[in-house]
Amino acid sequence: MPAYYVDSETMKCASPSGFGGGDKVLVDLTFNGVDFTDGKFEYNYYAFYGSFPKSAPYDATNQFIQVRGNGFTSDMAILCILDDTEMAPLSVHRNLIKCPM
């Protein structure tokens, strides 16, 4: 996949299709197709299927939004962002993230 320079620490590329949530691949970079970087790093694919509920009651205390998918892990840097407010998820499981309202 072609990669693009973002800054001195970041390259950006599209993920190839065909991988499902929970798949892991090793990523390596080359600028000439012959010489590759020394340190491969692991990339984890995840899939996002949707969230529930789609809207909340006016008083949404002690409730949460379920984000459904596949391949989520508790060591991912997951943030729930609602109305420009960042919050840590209440829980993270392989197929479900619970975000506070």
Asked if residue 59 and residue 34 are part of one domain, the reply reads: no
What number of helices (H) and strands (E) belong to the chain? Answer: 0, 10
pTM above 0.75, yes or no: no
Please indicate, yes or no, whether residues 40 and 12 belong to a single structural domain of this protein: yes
Residues 54, 37 within the same domain: no
For residue 22, the SS3 value is coil
Q: What tens-digit pLDDT sequence spans the chain (101 residues)?
A: 778 888 888 888 877 777 777 778 888 888 888 988 887 778 878 888 999 887 766 666 668 899 999 888 888 888 998 888 999 999 999 899 999 88
Q: Are residues 11 and 51 in the same domain?
A: no
Q: Which domain holds residue 37?
A: 1-45
